[in-house]
Amino acid sequence: MKIIKYPGKEDWKEILKRPALNTESLNDTVKGILNRVKTEGDKAVLECEATFDKVQLASLAVSADEIEEAESLISDDLKAAIILAKENIETFHSAQRFTGKKVETRPGVVCWQKAVGIEKVGLYVPGGTAPLFSTVLMLATPARIAGCKEIVLCTPPNREGKVHPAILFAANLAGVNKIFKAGGVQAIGAMAYGTESVPKVYKIFGPGNQYVTAAKQLVSLRDVAIDMPAGPSEVEVLADQSANPAFVAADLLSQAEHGIDSQAVLITTSEELIEKVCAEVESQLAQLPRKEIAAKSLDNSKLILVNDMDEAISMTNEYAPEHLIIETANYMEVAEQITNAGSVFLGSLTPESAGDYASGTNHTLPTNGYAKAYSGVSLDSFIRKITFQEITSQGIQTIGPAIETMAANEQLDAHKNAVTVRLNSLK
């Protein structure tokens, strides 16, 4: 890990750069696959599965028998853990329900909003180097609470044509309607355009590799909405001399094992902490089954020493991390000054892993600095708000003249006339 001491503000931009994710270079390949799926449907998806996932599938749909079998293939401990996590995610997201309020903006002019679930949503859950059954809970649970009528899930199968049983168990528990064996670009295309098997959806959610990211961006241009731009996962630990170096190292490594393009950053006011964290990282890394992946990821990672906590906070807000862990003596005071972050973890006993799995918050979060403008997935991500208004005779007489004046000055006489005819009818 690269150690940087007391950088000048003019160097922050370069220091805080993420690992490059240039999806534009993939666009020709991705467009080719998307076009095939759009025109050939299931046939193209099945052929892509044979090419990319090395599996010959008779059909894309996961059967009821496979879902039933999955429950018997995972341990009771894992089932109990998934159920606990789902309950906490449900509790947290249920509290986000929107209650519309009628507002009388002028006598006789009443406006209000109504929240409506997106009817059809598509969830993408990577298989890859780890079966992310936790992502199933993070996406399907709020979708069901929001009232989405059709919840479709795509996830790549293994070479035997099976989906990881924990993914199937979580999907069934969280209320997914249809599950399909499809990964990568072909899965995004299937949900964006619809095939003989896979329904077309209105919005696609979920993480993925750079090909999935490029596919989501391309289909979002005209065919379907997506949750947010996304890149490799990242964490920042903001710490002072009171932080436990073993905890800090564990947090950095838990991020690093996601993938070789993940990034872990420590910003601290304590040079002694950096030295101790380096030693702890080496010690803990040696024990990890995924140590090769984590070690490559650490090449993107930085330990940054700054002059004081004000500078640490300012640098943090500039970085806008996906995950921010604050391990300082006065972490609540520091947290109040954080304006740019996806999800924040407070105090020495709150690891990022808690939010990744079971505390209740959502782990689908903006990366690559998008936390400056985007929120993570929440109940709002699965709903639309429709506005309503009702105007009485008193109301149209109150605001009508203002509408007429504004329309006339914009030279939109038909707009003006729509009010004028009503006012004349009341004379």
Dist CA 245 CA 303 (whole Å): 12
Q: Which residues are annotated as a binding site for Zn(2+)?
A: 255, 258, 356, 415
Dist CA 192 CA 34 (whole Å): 9
Q: Which of 255, 247, 188, 194 has the alpha carbon at shortest distance from 215?
A: 188
342 vs 134, 207, 355, 380, CA distance in Å? 18, 15, 11, 15
Dist CA 414 CA 319 (whole Å): 50
Query: How do beta strands 109-117 and 383-391 pair?
Result: antiparallel
Dist CA 367 CA 262 (whole Å): 10
Q: Which of 321, 363, 357, 350 has the alpha carbon at shortest distance from 338?
A: 321
The interaxial angle of helices 42-52 and 184-193, nearest 10 deg, is 170
Q: Which residues are annotated as a binding site?
A: 124, 186, 209, 233, 255, 258, 323, 356, 410, 415
Dist CA 358 CA 90 (whole Å): 10
Cβ atoms of 255 and 233 within 8 Å: the answer is yes
Beta-carbon count within 10 A of 72 CB: 8
Q: Which residues pair with 386 in a beta bridge?
A: 114
Q: Which residues are annotated as a binding site for NAD(+)?
A: 124, 186, 209
- Cα 148 to chain centroid, rounded: 18
Q: Which residues are annotated as a binding site for substrate?
A: 233, 255, 258, 323, 356, 410, 415
Provide the token pair at 19. 């690992």
Instruction: Count the residues in the chain.
Output: 427
Tell me which of 234, 236, 280, 323 is the catalytic residue.
323
Tell me which of 49, 236, 322, 404 is the catalytic residue.
322
List helix spans (H) across 286-412.
Answer: 291-298, 309-319, 331-336, 352-357, 393-409
Active-site residue 322, yes or no? yes
Dist CA 337 CA 331 (whole Å): 10
Provide the token pair at 77. 């401990």
Active-site residue 323, yes or no? yes
Catalytic residues: 322-323
